[in-house]
């Protein structure tokens, strides 16, 4: 409650005496999930609480005056079996100014998203936004000092992210120096990025988008990572069956690659289609996931010989692998959408993991009117019986979000 009050107070104090652009919106976002109780990774109460039903209500406040921008959220959320929470989030709070000679600067907390791609963006080295989550709240920016220069065809940004932070336990907490370059050349969008950080060392990559005619576009990008990290079960990697403490440990690897390639068709009728493939070195390889499967099977086989709580606790630790944004390295996504030009936008999306035959099917729609927006959908996980998605403890999730602009 204290953070909620601080957020509201910060936005109120930021209001200047003269007229400013101020907007507020209210959103309600309930969600219902179904468990796959037959999954070897499923662990229910009392080991892990069931949060199958949840809801989030956000009051989004935005202020803009000159170069000053602020965005904050007052949030109330509740989930099955958990105590309701109320808190405030400062999403963005920054100032954009001019230095002269074509140079500009930014100081504060800002969402800084770079690169190309629909379901996956390798060049998004600062924000690292989850692009395939469902019912997600507004993103939270990074603290930064940045200088940039842009003209009709070229732009570059140099950002010192989380100044003075040093190394962090996660990418979001890690201090870094990041650079982005963009050029519009004969209708092509060209991108390049570089980043130096404590956790990942040197990252560098490039990407493009090319428009062909009135209906087609192609895009691609690749990123080299000097260091990359993934969370693995040390029992699966090094041997053993049961652990007395959480065996999921972050492992550091070297020389990783992230890449995406895709094409998009947009017809005059309102129909559009996207096909996209990507590779993410941060995700599990097929062999790593098979070792985790084998460990889980050994643990389940101990039923009746080892304490049930110990088995459930170890399986619960392994199930946290499903929290990753990208589950397996190789992914293929197909998306079909329609826009009736009057605000109604249905879509169907299929994500597959070709190495094991896993599938994630998402059906959804959104309607946007003058002041209100309603969006919702259903996501089903499945595929080949031995695939990671078919063995997931989550079977399906349905969600809806209603948003209204207050002023």
Using one digit for the tens of pLDDT, what is the confidence trace for 353-366? Answer: 999 999 999 999 99
Stretch 40-50: mean pLDDT:
90
The mean of the pLDDT values for the chain is 93
User: At 237, is the secondary structure helix, strand, or coil?
Assistant: helix
pLDDT of residue 186: 85
DSSP string, 159-201: EEESTT--S-SSGGG--EEEEEEEEEETTEEEEEEEEEETTTE
pLDDT of residue 13: 53
pLDDT of residue 17: 44
Q: Tokens standing for 49?
A: 């609480």
pLDDT of residue 7: 52
- What 228-232 contacts at long range (C-beta under 8 Å, 24+ apart), as own/partner pairs, is 228/200, 228/252, 228/253, 228/254, 228/256, 228/281, 228/282, 229/199, 229/200, 229/253, 229/282, 230/282, 230/283, 230/284, 231/320, 231/321, 231/324, 232/288, 232/292
pLDDT of residue 57: 97
Nearest to 225 by CA among 279, 145, 284: 279
CA dihedral of residues 370, 407, 29, 334 (deg, nearest 10): 40
Q: Is 11 exposed, middle or buried (0-12, 13-18, 19+ CB in 10 A)?
A: buried
Instruction: Report the share of the chain in percent with pLDDT over 90.
Output: 85
Please determine, for residue 8, whether its predicted confidence score (pLDDT) is greater than 60: no
pLDDT in tens, 284-293: 999 999 999 9
Give the structural domain span for 134. 2-405
Please determine, for residue 14, whether its predicted confidence score (pLDDT) is greater than 80: no
pLDDT in tens, 168-201: 888 889 999 999 999 999 889 999 999 999 999 9
pLDDT of residue 305: 95
pTM of structure: 0.91
Please determine, for residue 261, whether its predicted confidence score (pLDDT) is greater than 50: yes
Alpha-carbon gap, residue 169 to 241, rounded angstroms: 27
pLDDT in tens, 94-131: 999 999 888 999 999 999 999 999 999 999 999 999 99
Stretch 363-384: mean pLDDT:
96
pLDDT bin (cut points 50, 70, 90) of residue 138 is very high
DSSP string, 354-405: TTTTEEEEEEEEEEE-SSEEEEEEEEEEEESTTSTTTT-SEEEEEEEEEEEE
pLDDT of residue 216: 95
Contact 31, 55 (CB under 8 A): yes
pLDDT bin (cut points 50, 70, 90) of residue 340 is confident
Stretch 383-399: mean pLDDT:
97
Q: Of 1-5, 128-132, 215-219, 281-285, which gets the smallest average pLDDT? A: 1-5
Residue 247 sits in a domain of what CATH number?
Answer: 2.40.160.100
Domain count for the chain, please give it: 1
Tell me how crowded residue 170 is: count the other CB atoms within 10 A of its CB. 10
pLDDT of residue 1: 47
Please determine, for residue 44, whether its predicted confidence score (pLDDT) is greater than 50: yes
pLDDT of residue 3: 52
């Amino acid at each position: 409650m204290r953070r909620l009050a601080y957020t509201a107070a910060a936005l109120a104090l930021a209001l200047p005496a003269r007229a400013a652009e101020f907007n507020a919106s209210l959103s309600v976002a309930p969600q219902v999930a179904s468990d796959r109780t037959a999954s070897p990774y499923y662990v229910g109460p009392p080991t892990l609480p069931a949060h199958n039903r949840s809801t989030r209500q956000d009051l989004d406040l935005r202020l803009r005056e000159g170069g000053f921008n602020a965005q904050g959220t007052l949030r109330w959320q509740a989930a099955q079996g958990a105590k309701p929470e109320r808190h405030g989030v400062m999403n963005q709070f920054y100032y954009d100014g001019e230095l002269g000679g074509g140079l500009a600067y930014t100081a504060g907390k800002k969402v800084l998203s770079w690169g190309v791609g629909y379901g996956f963006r390798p060049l998004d080295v600062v924000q690292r936004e989850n692009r395939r989550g469902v019912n997600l709240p507004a993103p939270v920016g990074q603290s930064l000092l940045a200088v940039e220069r842009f003209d009709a065809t070229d732009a570059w940004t140099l950002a010192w992210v989380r100044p003075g932070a040093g190394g962090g336990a996660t990418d979001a907490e890690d201090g870094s120096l990041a650079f982005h370059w963009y050029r519009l050349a004969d209708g092509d969008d060209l991108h390049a990025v570089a980043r130096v950080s404590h956790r990942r060392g040197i990252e560098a990559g490039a990407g493009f988008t090319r428009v062909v005619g009135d209906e087609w576009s192609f895009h691609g990008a690749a990123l080299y990572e000097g260091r990359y990290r993934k969370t693995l079960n040390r029992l699966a990697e090094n041997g053993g069956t049961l652990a007395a403490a959480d065996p999921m440990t972050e492992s550091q690897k070297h020389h990783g690659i992230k890449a995406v390639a895709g094409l998009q068709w947009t017809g005059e009728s309102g129909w559009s289609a996207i096909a996209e493939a990507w590779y993410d070195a941060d995700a599990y390889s097929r062999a790593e996931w098979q070792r985790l499967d084998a460990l889980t099977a050994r643990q389940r086989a101990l039923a009746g010989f080892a304490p049930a709580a110990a088995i459930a606790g170890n399986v619960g630790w392994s199930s946290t692998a499903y929290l990753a944004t990208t589950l397996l390295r190789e992914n293929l996504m197909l998306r079909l959408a329609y826009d009736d030009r009057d605000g109604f936008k249905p879509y169907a999306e299929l994500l597959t993991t070709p190495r094991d035959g896993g599938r994630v099917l998402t059906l959804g729609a959104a309607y946007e009117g003058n002041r209100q927006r309603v969006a919702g959908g259903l996501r089903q996980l499945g595929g080949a019986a031995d695939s990671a998605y078919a063995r997931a403890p989550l079977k399906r999730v349905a969600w809806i979000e209603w948003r209204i602009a207050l002023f």
